[in-house]
Amino acid sequence: MTGDAATLAFADLQPEDIVSTLADLGFDCDGRFLALNSYENRVYQIGIEDERPVVAKFYRPGRWSDESIQEEHDFSIALADQDIPVVPPFEIDGATLKHSGPYRLAVFPCRGGRAPDLDNYDMQAQLGRLIARIHLEGETSSFQHRPRVDIESYGVESMDFLLDNEFIPEDNCDAYEGVAEMVLDGVEACFERAGNTQEIRLHGDFHPGNVLVDQDRLHIVDLDDCRHGPAIQDLWMFLSGDRFEQMPQLEALLEGYQSFRRFDPRELHLIEALRSLRIMHYAAWLARRWEDPAFKVAFPWFDSPRYWDDHVLALREQVALMQEPPLELRDF
């Protein structure tokens, strides 16, 4: 099937298509159906007769190659083999990535839970231990088909896409271009201060929404953005508040992390740089997906002047934050 046809089928994915596809894969669906909070892919919880529900992920056409999706699956399976509580896909007839008509999909066990309490330092330490164990596996080999967390793809390409495709209101264009250039200069300076840090396989998009807490057990979900990068990429999104609030959070994370793997303190220079890149990348991600009707419904504020005023202000704040000294840790 052509890429255009697959994209149209993905955009028009209906409940009957989903249930029919699962039935073709051998799942006896019972009619229960719940769309989960995902925009990049289409993800659904499907009830199964006399069994626990499953989660079906339909991959967006054109985003990842089959080989890169398989690397995601293989990484999650390798982590699960180390008793790390990730949620790998089912193997169905010898394969985890399935093709059904115009769709590419994988089926996962359903895991429930709540978001982690980031004010609980014991929970932060537990997260740190899990992240370190992921990184121990992550450094054993490299991806061949997945990208890096880097300035070019997250920063430069994001800025160029927004400017070239005229997503930014005319009144904000000059301000955005000027501050974006300053941000990129600041990011480069942070990476230079950090020096030649190690890049490993990462979760890549490790934030509280991708951790489920069920009683005292954690489950790590959604490795869709796994890629190469510095270890701090999987840690910094669990920090919130000002630097005085972040310091004990980071110490708790690293107390757990360093019980399994050494942390390179030079990577502390990268926290605000990575935050800046994520802010730029997020705006470009919304712009790249803006023709998907689901995005217009979920993010109606994106093309408003107020959004771009706030976006430029957030980038200005990041320029200032990247000029401050990195977080300090008493242990270091």
Set 17, 185, 222, 224: catalytic member: 222
Total length of the chain: 332
Tell me the H-state helices in the chain: 3-11, 15-24, 66-81, 121-138, 151, 157-164, 170-194, 243-257, 271-288, 293-298, 305-322
Beta-carbon contacts of residue 262 (< 8 Å; ≥ 6 apart): none
Does the annotation count 222 as an active-site position? yes
**Torsions phi, psi for 30 (to 5 deg):** -105, 5
> What letter does residue 92 receive in the DSSP assignment?
B
Set 117, 164, 205, 224: catalytic member: 205
Gyration radius of the chain over CA positions: 21
Does the annotation count 264 as an active-site position? no
The 10 Å Cβ neighbour count of residue 238 is: 22
Distance CA 159, CA 164 (A): 8
- What residues act catalytically? 205, 222
